[in-house]
Amino acid sequence: MTAQTLTPSETAGGLCPPPEWTAAPLTASTQELRDLITDFVQREAIPLEEEIDRTHKLPPSLWQKLASDPYRLIGAVIPKEYGGRGATYVECCVIMEELGYSSFSLATCVETTTIVPTYLMQSASEELLKEFLPAIASYETYIGIAITDMNGGTDPAAMSTCFSCGDGEYRLQGKKRLVSLADNCNAFIVMAREESTGARGALTAFLIDADTPGLRLAEEEFCFGMRGHTTWIVELDDCVVPASRRLGDEGRAMQYLFRTLDRTRGSYATGALGVARRALDVATEFAMRTETFGKRLIENQSIHFPLIEIRARLEAARLLAHKSSAAADAGQPNRVDTSLAKVLAGAIAIDAASLAITVLGGRGTTSDSVAQRLLRDSHTLQFGQGSPNAQFIGLAHDFYGVRP
Residues making contact with ligand FAD (CB under 6 A): 144-148, 152-154, 178-180, 223, 226, 231, 380, 383-384, 386-387, 389-390, 393, 404
**3-class DSSP state of 162:** strand
> Nearest approach, Cβ of 370 to ligand FAD (angstroms)?
19
Which CB sits closer to ligand FAD, 137 or 390?
390
Cβ(109)–Cβ(134) under 8 Å?
A: no
Q: Which is nearer to ligand FAD, 87 or 143 (CB)?
A: 143
Taking the C-alpha atoms of residue 401 and residue 250, their distance in angstroms, rounded to an integer, is 27
The least CB distance from residue 383 to ligand FAD, in Å, is 4
Which residue, 63 or 358, has its beta carbon nearer to ligand FAD?
A: 63
Q: Which residue is nearest to ligand FAD (CB)?
A: 153
Residues 6+ apart with CB under 8 A from 154: 386, 387, 389, 390, 393
Q: Using DSSP bridges, classify how beta strands 246-247 and 295-296 pair: parallel, antiparallel or unpaired.
A: unpaired
Q: Report the run of H or E that residue 164 belongs to, with start and end.
A: strand 162-165
CB of 144 to ligand FAD, least distance (A): 6
CB of 147 to ligand FAD, least distance (A): 4
Contacts of residue 10, defined as CB under 8 A and 6 or more positions apart, other chains included, come to: none
Sign of CA dihedral 65, 71, 72, 78: negative
Pick from 397, 125, 395, 163: nearest CA to 247: 125
- Show Cβ contacts of residue 200 under 8 Å, excluding neighbours closer than 6 positions: 157, 158
| Closer to ligand FAD by Cβ: residue 257 or 310 | 257
Nearest approach in angstroms of CB 375 to ligand FAD is 15
Q: Which is nearer to ligand FAD, 148 or 334 (CB)?
A: 148
- Cβ-based neighbour number of residue 358 at 10 Å: 14
Q: How far is the CB of 394 from ligand FAD (least distance, A)?
A: 11
Question: Least Å distance between CB 178 and ligand FAD?
Answer: 4
Q: In the complex with ligand FAD, which residue's Cβ is closer, 35 or 155?
A: 155
- By beta-carbon proximity to ligand FAD, the closer residue of 74 and 327 is 74
Closest CA to 111 of 81, 87, 82: 87
CB nearer to ligand FAD: pick between 223 and 343: 223
Q: How many Cα atoms occupy the beta-carbon half-sphere of 292 within 13 Å? A: 10
- Residues 6 or more apart whose CB falls under 8 angstroms from that of 348 comprise 272, 273, 276, 310, 313, 314, 317
The distance of closest approach from Cβ of residue 113 to ligand FAD in the complex, given in angstroms and rounded to an integer, is: 12
